[in-house]
Amino acid sequence: MVIGSGISCRDFFRTACRSDGFVIYMLVDNALCSLRVKFYKKQTEEQGRGKKMNILWSDRKRLTLFGLPWTFTKYTCASEKFIVESGMLSTKEEEIRLYRILDLTLERSFWQRIFGLGTICCDTVDKSCPKLVIKNIKDSRKVKELISKAVEEERMKKKVSSRELMAAEEEE
């Protein structure tokens, strides 16, 4: 399959998808494209600051049916923050600092368990996003543990402690 000026479809997709730093292999077979995301740990430039950002994990939201990453929502967990990019034509990028995450909950419905997916719910103290929901991701249990470790490391590094109030203390 060839696009306009003699560039093959495979080369076009490879160069287009590498621009954001995530390696995405596109396999083109007639009109069918299948997508596979390779996870890796890479040093990248943080936007606008020139500061190094260590990416711990990155993935796309997947469809519940068959667990395919055919959505326009991308999740990235870096050493200091969690980024959610969504949308195709008009995009939205949310950023939550890891030390602001209070609680992590893993939810797996029957269909998610069949296809090896899960949803992680994060309660945060962030005003713009008090509840972050990371929907339909592969290896959700491992990702939850990775985020939990990263949150604790960031809290230790920033010397932040969370003071939780128990329901019994509020009643007294």
Task: Please check whether residues 88 and 117 belong to one and the same domain.
Answer: yes
pLDDT at residue 19 is higher than 80: no
- The amino acid at residue 6 is G
Spell out the alpha helix ranges (H) of 90-139. Answer: 110-114
pLDDT 10s digits, 92-130: 999 999 999 999 999 999 999 999 999 999 999 988 899
Confirm if 67 and 122 have CB atoms less than 8 A apart.
no
| 4 and 19 assigned to the same domain | yes
DSSP letter for 58, please.
E
Q: Are residues 62 and 27 in the same domain?
A: no
84: nearest Cα among 92, 75, 96: 75
Tokens of 109: 């419905």
0.85 exceeded by the pTM? no
Is there a single domain that holds both residue 84 and residue 150?
Answer: yes
Same domain? 134 vs 106 = yes
> In whole numbers, what is the pLDDT of the chain averaged over residues?
74
Helices and strands counted in the chain (H then E) = 4, 12
Q: Are residues 102 and 116 in the same domain?
A: yes
Please name the amino acid found at residue 171: E
Task: Clarify whether residues 92 and 131 are in a common domain.
Answer: yes
